[in-house]
Amino acid sequence: MAGKIRQYLSLSGGALLLGAVLMVGAIAVVFGGEHALSRTEFCVSCHSQTYPYEELKKSSHYGALGADPGCKDCHVPQGLGNFHLALWTHMYDGTRAVLAEMKYDYSTVEKFNERRQIMAHYARMSLKNWDSVTCRDCHKNTKPPGASAKAAHMKMETEGATCIDCHQNLVHKKVPESDLNASKAQGTMVLKEATEKD
């Protein structure tokens, strides 16, 4: 009887050890892969992404307060609490981007611009769905200047707005703004109605 117990423990201990090694390996692959896919160098390895990256480097966000943000800082939620969003972003948005890269000709910025509006819309909807978590990572405890800015920021509490609802076209080439609430409700891109100041 004691021999059978030792044999069982030996087999189950080996299985547990093997399981633990495989689990650690899987975790390392997932976290390592996520880190590798979040690097700006990986993003701009697709020629089409060099256009928005050059725009980023000319924007007010680049070099501000000594920070040089990369693609992930805006387009991939960071931190352990948002890891599920980062994985989803790479699986869903990444797959869509790779398929578009194969389907469309982005060999010139003019050809890229033909699809810029829809790509901007997809990025904006991601930010909307994440409650602009990537904006909030850097912009903590914002203090909007002036009464109109304070009133606009109250929309976050009263209307379920988030940063991207009002702050579109900050980094990349300007395209017409999306009405993100209407787009979400209708399941398709809805542009904001032009106002007199536009």
Cα–Cα dist 54/57, whole Å: 5
Give the rounded percent of residues in the chain with a pLDDT score beyond 70. Answer: 90
Cα Dmax for the chain: 88
Cα–Cα dist 100/94, whole Å: 10
Q: What is the sign, positive or negative, of the torsion defined by CA atoms of 40, 41, 45, 48?
A: positive
Torsion of Cα atoms, 93 then 97 then 99 then 105, to 10°: 160
Q: Quick one: which of 123, 131, 124 has its CA closest to 43?
A: 123
pLDDT of 30-47, one tens digit each? Answer: 778 788 888 999 999 988
Residue 52 has pLDDT above 80, yes or no: yes
3-state secondary structure of 178: strand
46 neighbors 97 (Cβ within 8 angstroms): yes
Q: How many CB atoms lie within 10 A of CB 181?
A: 14
Q: How many CB atoms lie within 10 A of CB 79?
A: 10
Non-local (6+) Cβ contacts of 149 within 8 A are none
pLDDT of 97-154, one tens digit each? Answer: 889 999 999 999 999 999 999 999 999 999 999 999 999 888 887 788 888 888 888 8
pLDDT of 60-94, one tens digit each? Answer: 889 877 778 999 999 999 888 999 899 899 889 88
152 neighbors 144 (Cβ within 8 angstroms): yes
pTM over 0.85: no
